Amino acid sequence: MHKGIFITIEGPDGSGKSTQVSHIKGFLEKKGYEVLLTREPGGTGIGEKIRQILLDKDHKEMSATTETLLYAASRAQHVEQVIVPALREGKAVLCDRFVDSSIAYQGKGRGLGPEAVTDINKFATQGLEPDITILLDIDPEVGLNRAKATKGADRLEQEKLDFHRRVYEGYRVLAYMYPDRIKVIDATKTVKEISEEIENKLSSVVRKG
């Protein structure tokens, strides 16, 4: 049991997560929370090194199993070193991607299957789950074009459109399976509209400011 709240934000590449993450941070601070903003893969010194291995364009030979375990390893370190201690201190932890990303990208995108990836991640997180997850919903093609236009493609973004369609499908299935936790937001709306919708969804888990 912990006193804080654990919020994750998910979505295909180019869904506009970064913009909304900073908005959510401000919203939570206004509500009186001390906010820890973090991301995956990464979030710790060890995790950032694992991130470099994962996103390196030269690592074309990386197997799907290795990829899955590296994401999970980064996550295990993150949970133990950063997330759980912050939650114990009563902070709001806002994490850019978490287990749902692995289920969508490795489970569906890479085809390892959601069950295996879920099991590996239960081990990695010791069963920690977000209190609420914001899923920014965008057509994979639109998202990819946005992502490429803003920062150039990393190893995962270079995957074919088919891969990203499977990732998207993975997210849709997750949203269907966990409607109480995962709140789907249409990411084609304006930044302001999206922020307002997110605030509405978060109202159910934040204390009154």
Residue nearest to ligand TYD (CB): 105
- Amino acid identity, position 91: K
Q: CA Rg, the chain, in Å?
A: 16
Nearest distance from C-beta of residue 176 to ligand TYD, angstroms: 20
Select from 4, 6, 8, 13 the one that contacts ligand TYD (CB under 6 A).
13
Tokens at 104, concatenated: 């969508």
Return the closest-CA partner of residue 207 out of 1, 2, 3: 3
Select from 7, 35, 40, 168 the one that contacts ligand TYD (CB under 6 A).
40
Say how many residues touch ligand TYD, by CB under 6 A.
Answer: 15
Select from 6, 27, 33, 105 the one that contacts ligand TYD (CB under 6 A).
105
**Tokens 């190893």, residue located:** 155
Tokens at 72, concatenated: 């999970």
Return the closest-CA partner of residue 117 out of 101, 131, 128: 101
The pattern of x and - marking residues 123 through 142 that bind ligand TYD according to CB under 6 A reads --------------------
**Residue span binding ligand TYD (CB under 6 A) among the ranges 23-31, 78-86, 131-139, 149-157:** 149-157
Q: Does 168 bind ligand TYD (CB under 6 A)?
A: no
Which residue lies nearer to ligand TYD by CB, 96 or 131? 96
Nearest distance from C-beta of residue 47 to ligand TYD, angstroms: 10
Select from 78, 97, 108, 164 the one that contacts ligand TYD (CB under 6 A).
97
Phi-psi region of 43 (alpha: psi -120 to 50; beta: other; left: phi over 0): left
Select from 8, 20, 44, 101 the one that contacts ligand TYD (CB under 6 A).
101
Q: How far apart are CA 133 and CA 179, in angstroms?
A: 10
To which H or E segment does residue 37 belong? Answer: strand 35-39
Give me the residues paired with residue 92 across strands.
5, 35
Q: Does 47 bind ligand TYD (CB under 6 A)?
A: no
Select from 8, 20, 77, 102 the one that contacts ligand TYD (CB under 6 A).
102
Q: How far apart are CA 150 and CA 59, in angstroms?
A: 23
Select from 6, 27, 71, 163 the one that contacts ligand TYD (CB under 6 A).
71
Cβ-based neighbour number of residue 23 at 10 Å: 17
- Amino acid identity, position 17: K
Binding site for ligand TYD (CB under 6 A): 13, 17, 40-41, 55, 71, 96-97, 101-102, 105-106, 154, 156-157
